[in-house]
A and B are shown apart, each in its own frame.
Chain A
């Protein structure tokens, strides 16, 4: 892209050698070269483990067969084919997609609010979505629980209301201090959770449906459900990744971002709506899984630096890996019973959150 020719840059431009920003390029290559194969291996290995142990090579062959890459090897049984392709792969893919979404949404919220502690679960998005979804489930309206669309729609509306309310409550003049934002998020989350509990109490007949949904897991995953959410979420994630460069400029503050030519309000609104939409869709299918959006972007920032053009795709990849591994733990640690996956992510996430909070407090000299 050529710019206006200014006299003072003319010489420098004339003698410019094609040169890249090596730091970002190296880190990016490293991230993709390690991350993508690692993700695929994690998926295959996770799909191979379970009550019926299957050789990961067979799993890979079954997947390759269904993708039309090869015919099914003679030694692979029909039963294994069904277990892998009909049961475990949809579950792994769903967990991967949800993990990618929560991590990328977390990174986007952190960018927009310029708050390293912003996470879909800490700024009220998830509990708002849960309240919305519960409303849809217990509603006397003839809404079929399995008609996924309504639950997702209500979850989205709940998420947007919660994120808006949290932001307004936390706003001090033209700024939103990170700590106030988290406090407001906690308050809104508590209110939303109370509402959810109340609705559950009043609708005992649907208690089990709501419960199994709230402490969500991936047991009910299927190709149908995956195919219902995948296109929406994929579009949302693609847009978030494309906004990466603008999110970088947003880190300089609203005035500076504006003087760099960004339509700041529009960019923020678009990012929040898209991230909340994607989160709400995921909450609607997987229930509440906390801390992924906090841990993964932070780990990626430490590994790959703060540039959102790399941070967002890396959060996607490592968010998928993280949640697939957490789900693997959830279904194997106390097998044959399953742990809610949210318990595992919280067990890792809560100490990590405290660590970040402590570090932030040190940085601000409190």
Chain B
């Protein structure tokens, strides 16, 4: 099991500082939500955590070793990324697409072994797409494609999973099942998950910790009940909000203040 650490990370894009002084520790079984308004730097912070952008300052380490010192294939066995809008060549069969997750395990001339296929099938079962195995990716709905991307990430057998708005194109049922899957993998397999979310209600219900970003910086980090404070959120999102407690879980649910709240 692995631990991902970001210390004082800053990222520049096009000469502009997009993320500043970002700290995060992601350990086994953690499910952490990264929230904030559009342009807050969430996706960039996630890309820095994945080693996809080089930080201008600070360090990203996996098990104490800087990401840059990992061999790419070894890193890919530890950490998987699900992009916000995964690119999928339409002619590929779903199972073949998920099998690409085995890339870091295969030598140059290698073919997938029985073990590889077992992992691929299990990843598809977990992601709830085992019935789609023979379908072409181009025939799938947006939500189905998103789950194919998640299955492909799981097929990497990572210990750390980074997801960029995995629920953006999903309806309520699949939002729930996707984040339930993340929770289940964290609980069963000790998977550490960092999830960029727009929906604060989802962040509150499914994550142990919430990191709130604004203008490239972390504004608050901690338990959902502490971070998801309507006054703080109203300042960050520049819109009036209300917090309620979920009748069963007791976790905070953030809602719009509605027409009245503006007066």
Contacts and interface: CB of A to CB of B under 8 A. Distances in A.
B253 interface: no
B114 A19 contact: yes
A212 B110 CA distance: 45
Interface string A218-255: 00000000000000000000000010011011011101
B17 to A, nearest CB: 18
B118 A21 contact: no
Contacts of B189: 6-8
A138 to B, nearest CB: 43
Given A258-B72, A260-B100, A307-B96, A12 B77 contact: no
Interface string A296-316: 000001000111000000000
A1 B76 contact: no
Contact of A261 (B77, B113, B125): B77
A245 B106 contact: yes
B77 A306 contact: no
B185 interface: yes
Interface stretch (B57-65, B85-93, B166-174, B221-229): B85-93
Nearest to B107: A1
Contacts of B109: 242
Given A252-B86, A256-B81, A259-B76, A8 B118 contact: no
A2 B75 contact: no
Contact of A252 (B76, B77, B100): B100
Nearest to A305: B91
Contacts of B118: 9, 12-13, 15-16
Most chain A CB neighbours (cut-off 10 Å) among B76, B77, B190: B76
A132 B89 CA distance: 35
A114 B81 CA distance: 20
A16 B117 contact: yes
A39 interface: no
B126 interface: yes
Task: Tell me what chain A mostly uses at the interface: helix, strand, loop, or mixed.
Answer: loop
Interface residues of A, number: 41
B108 interface: yes
A17 B99 CA distance: 16
A248 B88 CA distance: 11
B89 A13 contact: no
Contact of B108 (A114, A242, A258, A260): A242
A75 interface: no
A1 B96 contact: no
B83 A253 contact: yes
B119 A9 contact: yes
Given A3-B119, A9-B118, A24-B96, A255 B91 contact: no
A255 B89 CA distance: 15
A256 B104 contact: no
B157 A3 contact: yes
B150 interface: no
B97 to A, nearest CB: 8
A278 B87 CA distance: 30
Given A21-B117, A251-B89, A252-B87, A3 B99 contact: no
B248 interface: no
A261 B76 contact: yes
A21 B113 CA distance: 10
Contacts of B52: 255, 258-259
A216 B123 CA distance: 53
Given A8-B122, A8-B188, A306-B92, A3 B77 contact: yes
A191 interface: no
Contacts of B47: 255
Contacts of B121: 12
A114 B91 CA distance: 13
Contacts of A13: 115, 118-119, 122
B73 interface: yes
A12 B119 CA distance: 7
A265 B239 CA distance: 43
B76 to A, nearest CB: 3
Nearest to A249: B103
Contact of B115 (A2, A251, A305): A2
A18 interface: yes
Nearest to B72: A261
A2 B125 CA distance: 20
A361 interface: no
Contacts of B110: 1
B83 A256 contact: yes
A4 B104 contact: no
A316 to B, nearest CB: 17
Contacts of B93: 23, 305
A194 B211 CA distance: 59
A188 B72 CA distance: 35
Contact of A21 (B81, B88, B99, B123): B99
Contacts of A4: 77, 157
B214 interface: no
15 contacts: A1-B105, A3-B119, A4-B157, A7-B190, A8-B126, A8-B188, A9-B118, A9-B119, A19-B117, A252-B88, A252-B89, A255-B52, A260-B101, A261-B74, A306-B89
Given A16-B118, A255-B47, 7 more contacts: A1-B106, A3-B119, A8-B122, A13-B122, A256-B87, A260-B103, A261-B77
Closest 9 CB pairs of A and B: A261-B76, A16-B118, A12-B122, A261-B104, A261-B73, A253-B87, A8-B189, A259-B81, A306-B91
